[in-house]
Structure 1
Amino acid sequence: MRLTTARRSTLFAGLAIASVAVLTACGTASGGGDSGEEATELGDYEGSVSILAWPGYVEDGSNDPSVDWVSAFEEETGCMVESKTYGTSDEAFSLMKTGDYDVVAASGDASLRLVAAGEVAPVNTDLLKNYDGIFDFLKMQSWNSVDGVSYGIPHGYGANLLMYNTDVFPDGLTSWSAVFDDAAANSGKVTAYDSPIYIADAAVYLMATQPELGIENPYALDETQLAAAVELLKAQRQHIGEYWSDYLKEIQAFETGDSVVGTTWQVIQNSITTGNTEVVLPDEGTTGWSDTWMISSQAKSPNCAYAWLDYIASPEANAQATAYFGEAPSSQAACEFRDDCEAYHAGDADYASQIWYWSTPIADCLDGRTDVECTDYAAWTTAWQEIKG
Structure 2
Amino acid sequence: MSKLTTSRRGFIKTGAAGAAALALPAYLRSTAARASGAVNVWTYANFIPDDFKAEFEKETGIQVNIRLVDDQGKQFNLLAAEAPNPTADIVTVAGHRFLQFIDSQLLAPLDTDRLKNWGNINPVYSESDWATINGNKWGAPILSGAEVMAYNTEVVGEDEVKSWDVMFDPKYEGQTAYIIQDMMSVMMLYKGYDGNMIAYMDDPEKAAAIVKEVRDFLIEHKSMVRKFYDSGAEIQQMFVNQDVVLAHAWNGPISRLIMDGFPVDMTIPREGSYGFVYTFNVTNNGPNPDNAYMLLDALLANAEVGAEMTRSSGFISTFKGADQHLTELERKAASFTEEELQGLQFFRAEANEMKYKLVDPAVEEIKAA
**If the length of structure 1 is used for normalisation, what is the TM-score?**
0.73
User: Residue 30 of structure 2 corresponds to which residue in structure 1?
Assistant: none
**2:5 corresponds to which of 3, 8, 16:** 8
> C-alpha separation between the residues in 2 aligned to 1:230 and 1:365?
19
Q: Does 1:107 align with 2:94?
A: yes
1:318–1:175 Cα change, 3 Å: same
Q: Which residues of structure 2 form unaligned runs of 5+? A: 9-33, 201-206
| 1:201-220 pair list within 5 angstroms | 201-207=186-192, 213=193, 215=194, 217=196
User: Residue 74 of structure 1 corresponds to which residue in structure 2?
Assistant: 57
> C-alpha separation between the residues in 1 aligned to 2:219 and 2:140?
37
Offset at 1:252?
A: 4.0
Deviations 1:127-167 (A, max 9, x none): 31222121222124455431332101101012222122344
**2:147 corresponds to which of 151, 160, 171:** 160
Offset at 1:258?
A: 3.0
User: Residue 121 of structure 1 corresponds to which residue in structure 2?
Assistant: 108
- The question of whether the paired residues in 2 share the 8 Å contact of 1:107 and 1:358 is answered with no
Q: Percent identity?
A: 21
Q: Does 1:317 align with 2:296?
A: no
> C-alpha separation between the residues in 1 aligned to 2:40 and 2:262?
42
> C-alpha separation between the residues in 2 aligned to 1:335 and 1:167?
28
Partner SS for 2:331? coil
> C-alpha separation between the residues in 2 aligned to 1:55 and 1:93?
17
1:288–1:218 Cα change, 3 Å: farther
- The question of whether the paired residues in 1 share the 8 Å contact of 2:96 and 2:348 is answered with yes
> C-alpha separation between the residues in 1 aligned to 2:306 and 2:141?
10
- The question of whether the paired residues in 2 share the 8 Å contact of 1:143 and 1:359 is answered with yes
Q: Does 1:231 align with 2:216?
A: yes
> C-alpha separation between the residues in 2 aligned to 1:334 and 1:299?
30
**2:171 corresponds to which of 185, 195, 206:** 185
Deviations 1:298-318 (A, max 9, x none): 022222111122122232322
1:197–1:280 Cα change, 3 Å: closer
**If the length of structure 2 is used for normalisation, what is the TM-score?**
0.77
User: Residue 351 of structure 2 corresponds to which residue in structure 1?
Assistant: 365
1:171–1:81 Cα change, 3 Å: closer
Partner SS for 1:178? helix
**2:74 corresponds to which of 91, 110, 134:** 91
Q: Does 1:355 align with 2:338?
A: no
Paired residue type of 1:330: T
> C-alpha separation between the residues in 2 aligned to 1:56 and 1:270?
11
> C-alpha separation between the residues in 1 aligned to 2:74 and 2:241?
34
> C-alpha separation between the residues in 2 aligned to 1:69 and 1:171?
38
**1:384 corresponds to which of 354, 359, 363:** 363
User: Residue 40 of structure 2 corresponds to which residue in structure 1?
Assistant: 50
**2:316 corresponds to which of 328, 333, 351:** 328
Paired residue type of 1:383: A
User: Residue 28 of structure 2 corresponds to which residue in structure 1?
Assistant: none
> C-alpha separation between the residues in 2 aligned to 1:331 and 1:304?
21
> C-alpha separation between the residues in 2 aligned to 1:274 and 1:51?
31
Offset at 1:355?
A: 2.9
RMSD of the alignment, in Å?
3.1
Partner SS for 2:212? helix
Partner SS for 1:114? helix
User: Residue 289 of structure 2 corresponds to which residue in structure 1?
Assistant: 302
Aligned residues: 326
**2:257 corresponds to which of 247, 271, 285:** 271
1:69–1:234 Cα change, 3 Å: same
Paired residue type of 2:248: T
> C-alpha separation between the residues in 2 aligned to 1:268 and 1:325?
10
Q: Which residues of structure 1 form unaligned runs of 5+? A: 1-5, 12-43, 60-66, 208-212, 367-373
> C-alpha separation between the residues in 2 aligned to 1:297 and 1:170?
49
1:326–1:95 Cα change, 3 Å: same
> C-alpha separation between the residues in 2 aligned to 1:251 and 1:341?
19
Partner SS for 2:279? strand
1:170–1:152 Cα change, 3 Å: closer
Deviations 1:274-331 (A, max 9, x none): 8543322211221233111111120222221111221222323222223211111112
1:274–1:252 Cα change, 3 Å: farther
Offset at 1:9?
A: 6.8
Partner SS for 2:269? coil
Deviations 1:314-365 (A, max 9, x none): 323222223211111112322333322343128x8886564334455xxx53
Runs of 4+ in 1 over 4 A off after TM superposition: 218-221, 272-276, 348-353
Offset at 1:75?
A: 3.1
> C-alpha separation between the residues in 1 aligned to 2:166 and 2:198?
22
